[in-house]
Structure 1
Amino acid sequence: MTLFEIIILAIIQGLTEFLPISSSAHLILPSEVLGWNNQGMAFDVAVHVGSLLAIIIYFREDIWRLTGAWFSYGLSANQTQDSRLGWWIIIATIPAVILGFALKDFIEIYTRSALVIAITTIGFGLLLWYADYKATQTKTVHQITWKNAIFIGLAQAIAIIPGTSRSGITMTAGLMIGLDRESAARFSFLLSIPVILGAGLLATYDLIQTPDAVDWQALIFGAAFSFVSAYACIYLFLAWISKIGMLPFVIYRLILGAALLLFVFI
């Protein structure tokens, strides 16, 4: 990859990892639409490391508090708000782990195409609009129940299909259960930490098995630009989402999906 391609792909990944518009779709599209070479597994690992560092640093106080509470009260009959939230994050992660392992090869072979991305981008974009339009926004993140956690976790598992958007589908599910927009986004972001970490470790393991040479300059630049764009994205999204709602992202998804359909059929 050229330096230009490295920077663009890293910024795209950092921004779209946490916006409800699908990072996997945007990383596949340059090769599908622009004819760029596939960025390769090592680069995917690097940009995910950058995004993971961004969210860990941004939510460092929440992570420290939730982790401490979970270890202190996790197996106790008397749960605190934070220890309970820690449990809900664990429970909501399980469906994605199971389906991710079970369907990994199928997803890689049959769903990484512009047509699939167009369909899921439009379909789940409309679902996000419906959830936001009908949202009661009466709950905060600490009012999530174990049933809510399972529901959001099952929704997150669907995001293994490119174009769905992990953050988009989990925010959609959060709005459906009555969370306010900021709480839906905050839980989605916290939920992304174990998922990104697990995906990164799995990709790293696959990378170790391959004899391909590693372009360390590309990895360093990719991780750095992904970190900066992801951190900015998290900060601005949480600051604005209660005011602007999900409609701008829905409109973007519809335009992107329509453009992809034109690309596929024309």
Structure 2
Amino acid sequence: MGHFEAFSLALIQGLTEFLPISSSAHLILPSQLLGWEDQGLAFDVAVHLGTLLAVILYFRKELIILLKAWLGSIFKRQHNQDSRLAWMIVLATIPACIFGLLMKDIIELYLRSAWVIAATTIVFGLLLWWADKKGSRSKDEHQVCWKQALYIGIAQALAVIPGTSRSGITMTAGLQLGLTREAAARFSFLMSIPIILLAGSYLGLKLFTQAAPINYSFFGIGMLVSFVSAYACIHLFLKWVTRVGMLPFVIYRLLLGAGLVVFLLI
């Protein structure tokens, strides 16, 4: 992998991690369509770290409030809307952890193909369009109850299938439940923190135990580029999503899926 490929993959990771268009699909496709070599375990750790730092830094004020409220609910039995939201995020994280552990090997063997990505890109793109059009968009993230949090969490678990998009499927579920576009996005982004942290920790442990060689130049590029692009993506998405809605991303997914089908059939 050269420096251009490292920069490109880190940029793709940063931009697509939080947009409803599937980061896994965009990272798998260059190797399948362009013949790029696998970026390696150390680079995966770098881009996970970069996107994690971006979302933590962007929501730093909210995270401090949520963490204090969550700890207060445990040790002081003090409950408020912030502690409740923190618990809903914890609950929504559980299904993805269970599903990811149980299905990881199956997905690696059978579902990381361009055909699967084409199908999930189109199907879940249409589902996003339907939820955005039909949802009442009347609630904020603090109004999510435990059943709704579990539902969004189960939706997040489906994102282990390439092409689904973790942010896309969780925003779809949030919109279906009546959240506003911004609330669905914010809840999705906050949910991403424990998931990215767990995924990055798992990859970091593998990197440590396998004693794989680390190219620190690529590692630095991956972390820096993914951090900057992810931070900008979160900021711009939350600023624009209320006005532009999900349709531009739906159109992009449909074009990408159709383009993949044509490419595979030629």
TM-score by length of 2: 0.98
Which runs of 5 or more residues in structure 1 are unaligned? none
Residue 263 of structure 1 deviates from its aligned partner by: 1.7
Name the residue aligned to 1:115: 115
Shift of 1:40: 1.3
Q: Shift of residue 137 of structure 1?
A: 0.5
Unaligned 5+ segments in structure 2 are: none
SS in 2 for 1:159: helix
- Is the Cα contact below 8 Å between 1:122 and 1:254 reproduced in 2? yes
> After superposition, what is the alpha-carbon deviation per residue over 1:133-176, rounded to whole angstroms, capped at 9, x for unaligned?
10100101111111110000000000000000000000000000
> Is 1:134 matched with 2:134?
yes
Q: Which amino acid aligns with 1:207?
A: L
SS in 1 for 2:184: helix
Q: CA shift at 1:7, angstroms?
A: 0.7
What's the offset of the Cα at 1:264?
Answer: 1.5
Contact 2:171 2:185 in 1 (8 A): yes
- Map 1:62-77 to 2 at 5 A: 62-74=62-74
Q: Which residue of 1 aligns with 2:222?
A: 222
Q: Where do residues 54-69 of structure 1 align in structure 2 (5 Å cutoff)?
A: 54-69=54-69
- For 2:10 and 2:199, the matched residues in 1 are separated by 17
Question: How far does residue 210 in structure 1 lie from its aligned partner after superposition?
Answer: 2.4
User: What pairs with 1:121-200 in structure 2 (closer than 5 Å)?
Assistant: 121-200=121-200
State the partner residue of 1:245. 245
- Identical amino acids, percent of aligned pairs: 61
Query: In structure 2, the residue corresponding to 1:38 is in which secondary structure?
Result: coil
Question: Could you tell me how far apart the structure 1 residues matched to 2:153 and 2:74 are?
Answer: 19
Q: Distance in 2 between matches of 1:248 and 1:16?
A: 14
* Cα distance between partner residues in 1 of 2:154 and 2:76: 26
Q: Which amino acid aligns with 2:239?
A: A
CA offset at residue 77 of structure 1? 6.0
Residue 92 (structure 2) aligns with: 92
- Partners of 1:78 and 1:62 in 2: CA distance: 18
In the alignment, is the contact (CA less than 8 A) between 2:72 and 2:78 conserved in 1? no
Which amino acid counterpart does residue 193 of structure 2 have in structure 1? I
How many residues are matched?
266
Q: State how far apart, in whole Å, the 2-side matches of 1:83 and 1:76 are.
A: 12
- Normalised to the residue count of structure 1, the TM-score between the two structures is 0.98
1:6-56 per-position Cα deviation (integer Å, ceiling 9, x unaligned): 111101000000000000000001001111111112111100100000000
Query: What is the alpha-carbon root mean square deviation over aligned residues?
Result: 1.1
Cα offset, 1:211, TM superposition: 4.3
Contact 1:12/1:27 (<8 A) preserved: yes
Hey, what's the Cα distance between the residues in 1 that align with 2:211 and 2:113?
26
- Post-superposition CA distance 1:219-264 (Å, at most 9, x none): 0111000000000000000000000000000000000001111122
Contact 1:121 1:164 in 2 (8 A): yes
What CA distance in whole angstroms lies between the structure 1 residues aligned with 2:205 and 2:106?
19
Q: Which runs of 4+ in 1 moved over 4 A?
A: 75-78
> Partner of 1:139: helix, strand, or coil?
coil
User: Partner residue of 1:79?
Assistant: 79
Deviation at 1:75, TM superposition (A): 6.5
Alpha-carbon contact 1:181-1:245 (below 8 Å) kept: yes
Alignment partners' CA distance in 1, 2:115 and 2:42: 26
Contact 1:74 1:84 (C-alpha < 8 Å) held by counterparts? no
